[in-house]
Amino acid sequence: MLRANGFRIVHTETMTFEDQVRLVNEHANIFSNAGSAAHNVLFALHAPRLHLLTNGAKFSPDYLLYAVIIGAPTSFIDCLNTGERPRFKGAHKQTPHLLDAPKLLEYLDERGFLTAPIPAWPVGYRADLQARYDEAWLYGYIRALSHGAALPGDIEREAQRVATSSWPVSLVLAWYYVRRDAPHADSLARQFADLAATETNRERLARYRGEVADLAPVLSRQGSPETAARLAAVATDRFHVALGSKERVTPSLAKQ
């Protein structure tokens, strides 16, 4: 959670359904991207004002119904984009967006939401955000590839470079190479395990838990016994996923 300028910023994917409903009933103004999280406003007992961040003018017409269904006045702010990255089928589900911060800040200022000056971003903050975006975009692009489709050369080279320090990209690249280059896939799987073993960000680990549960068993079956053992260990320790079980989360860890 983050508080700034009177805003309460939360990631609803880590909240229980009950807490999400409670959240929308505690605020008169709700900001969200035009995604499924915005549907929680339907559980509001009052008529909050909804501010939706969009990427262009094309979005689900569902969001136009809120004002009719619950009387929630809704504004659409076209302040999201994908930079120079190519679009592909399913991109809106697989990849994040870049925020046009000046446009959003202008909107907030015009409506009186900015009660204090925006603090200066630390040196390197933009570069860090760009690196996180690049990692997430590469993961989503590779994950969304049709069966048998090949990576474009420039994207493959970038993914290989990013994978040296990124366990999510190492994981999805290993999965991509399983049927193309088994030794390379095995090497990337070990790289994933080594990098993930040092991860301490619980939110980041939780975000990819389902992906590890889906992809790690494939890598384990196709890789060497040593790699399989390493994958099993890191999946259990870092992601609370038991690769040898039909259950994704081990019983003892599921309660934590």
Q: What is the pLDDT of residues 221-230, one digit of tens each?
A: 999 999 999 9
pLDDT, residue 81, reads 85
Phi, psi at 175, each rounded to 5°: -60, -40
pLDDT, residue 152, reads 93
Average pLDDT over residues 19-38: 86
| Sequence spans of domains, the chain | 2-78, 150-254
Joined together, the tokens standing for residue 47 give 């008529």
More confident residue, 83 or 103: 103
Exposure of 222 in the CB half-sphere (CA atoms within 13 A): 22
Instruction: State yes or no: pLDDT of 138 exceeds 70.
Output: yes
Relative to beta strand 2-4, strand 7-9 is antiparallel
Alpha-carbon torsion (172, 83, 14, 47), positive or negative: negative
pLDDT, residue 8, reads 62
- Computed over every residue of the chain, the mean pLDDT equals 85
Q: State the fold for domain 2-78.
A: Rossmann fold (3.40.50)
pTM strictly above 0.85: no
| Cβ atoms within 10 Å of 29's Cβ, excluding its own | 13
Sheet holding 74-78, edge to edge: 29-33, 49-54, 74-78
| Cβ atoms within 10 Å of 229's Cβ, excluding its own | 13
Joined together, the tokens standing for residue 213 give 């549960």
pLDDT tens digits for range 161-196: 999 999 999 999 999 999 999 999 999 999 999 999
pLDDT, residue 114, reads 85
Instruction: State yes or no: pLDDT of 249 exceeds 60.
Output: no
Lowest-pLDDT range of 24-28, 122-126, 209-213: 122-126
Instruction: State yes or no: pLDDT of 255 exceeds 60.
Output: no
pLDDT, residue 210, reads 94
CA distance 77 to 39: 17
Question: Is residue 1 within 8 Å of 48, Cβ to Cβ?
Answer: no
Q: Which of helix, strand or coil describes residue 101?
A: helix
